[in-house]
């Protein structure tokens, strides 16, 4: 694997490189056994320099699921200009709405504070950018959590079969 393929954030440009690194982090022989293939074949498919054995999309999905590692998916999203953010699970408690709003506000304030602090000298350096990016991602995560809390607040309106319900009526 060529280290020039890694982005500054540590996410490989290429999903094939991410698959290779995933294979290094996890037990490749165990993954191969669970996938019903030999260790040598899987090793070849994970090797980005291998010309003949290529990892299929189905195999990439299987490895992601078996290893519970989103590196391939994250690399693909990053290469396409997207950010992969895990959506929080749905919550059921009505009181969590105000707490989640406060968490979102807190994360947004932290992100804005990080930006202000980084700009104090007129230059945002790469390390400062990484801190800012982490704070913004935390804000995005809290915004998605808020979406799930609001989703938990949705209730079906009781409807009489012959009387339409109108808002504001």
pLDDT confidence of residue 116:
96
Does 93 score more than 70 pLDDT?
no
- Kindly write down the DSSP assignment for every residue of 113-141, as one continuous string: HHHHHHHTTS---HHHHHHHHHHHHHHHH
For 59-73, what is the mean pLDDT? 95
pLDDT digits (tens, 9 = 90+) for 32-60: 999 999 999 999 999 988 888 889 999 99
Least confident of 54-58, 65-69, 91-95: 91-95
pTM over 0.85: no
- Residue 36 φ then ψ, to 5°: 75, 35
Structure tokens at 154: 């949705």
- Write down the residue that tokens 């945002």 correspond to: 124
Query: pLDDT for 100-155, tens place per residue?
Result: 888 899 999 999 999 999 999 999 999 999 999 999 988 998 888 888 888 877 88
pLDDT of residue 10: 67
To 10 degrees, what angle do helices 15-25 and 71-79 make? 160
Backbone angles phi, psi at 160, to 5 degrees: -85, 140
In the chain, the N- to C-terminal Cα span, in Å, equals 66
Residue 9 — very low, low, confident or very high, per pLDDT cuts 50/70/90? low
């Amino acid at each position: 694997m060529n280290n020039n393929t890694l982005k500054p954030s540590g996410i490989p440009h290429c999903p094939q490189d991410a698959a290779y690194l995933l294979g290094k982090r996890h037990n490749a022989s165990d993954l191969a056994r669970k996938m019903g293939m030999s260790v040598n074949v899987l090793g070849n498919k994970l090797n980005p320099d291998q010309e003949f054995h290529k990892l299929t999309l189905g195999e990439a999905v299987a490895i992601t699921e078996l290893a519970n590692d989103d590196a391939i998916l994250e690399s693909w999203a990053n290469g396409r200009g997207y950010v992969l953010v895990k959506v929080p699970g749905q919550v059921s408690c009505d009181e969590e709405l105000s707490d989640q709003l406060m968490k979102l506000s807190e994360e947004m304030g932290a992100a804005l504070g990080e930006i202000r602090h980084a700009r104090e000298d007129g230059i945002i350096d790469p390390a400062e950018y990484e801190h800012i990016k982490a704070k913004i991602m935390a804000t995005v995560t809290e915004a998605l959590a808020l979406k799930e809390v609001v989703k938990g607040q949705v209730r079906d309106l009781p409807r009489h079969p012959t009387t339409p319900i109108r808002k504001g009526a």
